[in-house]
Amino acid sequence: MLVCVTAARTSKEVVKVATKLCFRKTKVFVLHIVQQLSKFTEDEVRKEFSWAVELFKKEGITSHLEIVESPDVKEAIISTAKKHACDIIVTGTIPRKGLLGYFSESISDYVIKKAPCTVVLVRSASQLR
Structure confidence by residue, pLDDT tens digits, 71-104? 999 999 999 999 999 999 999 987 666 555 555 5
Cβ count near 10 (within 10 Å) = 21
Give the model's pLDDT for residue 94: 74
Output the pLDDT for position 75.
96
The pLDDT of residue 24? 83
Residues 6 or more apart from 32 whose CB is under 8 A from it? 4, 5, 6, 45, 48, 49, 65, 66, 67, 68
Low-confidence ranges of the chain (pLDDT < 50): none
Read off the pTM.
0.86
Domains observed in the chain? 2-128 (3.40.50.620)
